[in-house]
Chains A and B, each alone.
Chain A
Amino acid sequence: MNQHPTTEQILGFLDQRPDDTGLARHIESCAECAALVGEFRRIDAAGRRLPVLTSPSGITGRVMARVLSPEADSLSYRLLKGLGYLIPMSIVLLVLGMVFSKTGVIDPGGGNGAGDRIQEVMTAVGVLSGSVSEAIIGLLRSYAPFMANNEAAGIILAIIVTLSGCLFLDRVLAGRFGTKMR
């Protein structure tokens, strides 16, 4: 070989592709090509020493939990888990409402002030659309008339409902029950 090989040929030589062109002999006798080979060898050696990261310790257990209980990945299972998450939140909501009512924080006289306030808060937070927040307010009014006319309680309840709803949607839509909750 009289001419210098191309860089592609040199890389092929380094990767031990078949060499029938006398490339090895040329590299031995050509300082310029030997230098180029030396550079790429150094880069390749560094590349092959890139550190392998340690995966999180619980990963095998989480994989095996999903493998051994395939139903855990199904949407219905996630929905059930989501409901399991919402029920305690609803109980907390109810207890808070009752506490407010018993302690006189809430005037059970009725009216729509709190409901309107809830909707304002929800819209301001921007998490739920108007129609969804209306539906939730209607639901709250139907079983918690005692919270009808108190703004502070209404805001607290709205925040709790909004957060629990978001958590529920996040968990279900992101499919995280299968990966994070176990």
Chain B
Amino acid sequence: MNESEIIARVRAGDARAYTLLVDRCRDRAFTLAVRLLGNREEAEEVVQDAFVNAYRSLDRFREEARFSTWLHRIVYNLCMTRVARRRARARPLDEGRPEEQRPDTQDTGVDLHAETETAELVRIVEEEILGLSEKLKTPLLLFYMEEMKYEEIAETIGIPVGTVKTYLFRGRMLLRERLNIRLKEEVAIP
């Protein structure tokens, strides 16, 4: 049964069919929430709330995008509400994000061509993405994890497509710089 058929059944009153949608989308929604919040318990609460909110608003879902895109927008909004609350509580600690002040390391990038193990590279890329500010991290997560197009990311986050392009560009540039630094450091360790 495809997504549209499931949604049609739910709209027709078969609430239990919603289980199929939940089961299909829950892991990715949970992964997104964990990466945005850095906390599994909070992420679980957010994902539950997102599914319940999506169910209650299903009549407003126009099916112009995938259900998961729409759901991820709800997850994103719920996560950002929690992040904003956290920031309000710990504002002095959250100021001065470092990524824009990192030293410019436009080098040859030779280490990225080296035979670094793929799994290790994935781990480092994940760490570096999670270390980015919210505005750069979220588009990158949606771009990589969900393989969303620019337009879908823009729809999910609620920002213009041009801004998505800018954030993705800056995010990938920062990733490259940081990876080069880290891989060099690791090579330098005797």
Contact = CB atoms under 8 A, between A and B. Distances in A.
Contacts of B134: none
A50 interface: yes
Per DSSP, chain B at the interface is helix
A72 to B, nearest CB: 10
A96 interface: no
Interface in B109-166: 109, 112-113, 118, 121-122, 124-126, 129, 140-141, 143-145, 147, 150
A47 B28 contact: no
Interface in A114-159: none
B63 interface: no
A46 B121 contact: yes
A42 interface: yes
B30 to A, nearest CB: 4
Given A39-B112, A39-B113, A59 B47 contact: yes
B45 interface: yes
Per DSSP, chain A at the interface is helix
Given A63-B22, A67-B52, A35 B172 contact: no
Measured as residues with beta carbon below 8 angstroms from the partner, the interface class of chain A is: 35 or more
B172 A60 contact: no
B147 A48 contact: yes
Nearest to A72: B52
Interface stretch (B1-9, B13-21, B76-84, B95-103): B13-21
B71 to A, nearest CB: 12
A55 B122 contact: no
B121 A55 contact: no
Contacts of B29: 55
A43 B81 CA distance: 30
A104 interface: no
Contacts of A42: 112-113, 121
Contacts of B52: 63, 66-67, 73, 178
A7 B26 contact: no
Interface in A30-83: 35-36, 38-40, 42-56, 59-60, 62-64, 66-68, 70, 73
B172 A11 contact: yes
B3 to A, nearest CB: 17
Given A59-B44, A63-B48, A179-B48, A7 B31 contact: no
A64 B112 contact: no
A48 B145 CA distance: 6
Given A7-B173, A47-B125, A47-B144, A56 B19 contact: no
A20 interface: no
Contact of A46 (B56, B125, B173): B125
Leading 5 A-B pairs by shortest Cβ distance: A47-B144, A55-B30, A46-B125, A53-B31, A39-B112
Given A43-B125, A179-B45, 20 more contacts: A8-B169, A39-B112, A43-B176, A45-B118, A48-B144, A49-B122, A50-B141, A51-B31, A51-B122, A52-B31, A53-B30, A54-B27, A54-B30, A56-B40, A64-B16, A64-B22, A67-B52, A73-B52, A179-B44, A179-B48
Interface of A: 7-8, 11, 15, 35-36, 38-40, 42-56, 59-60, 62-64, 66-68, 70, 73, 178-179
14 contacts: A11-B169, A39-B112, A43-B172, A43-B175, A43-B179, A44-B172, A46-B118, A46-B122, A47-B140, A48-B144, A52-B31, A55-B27, A60-B26, A67-B18
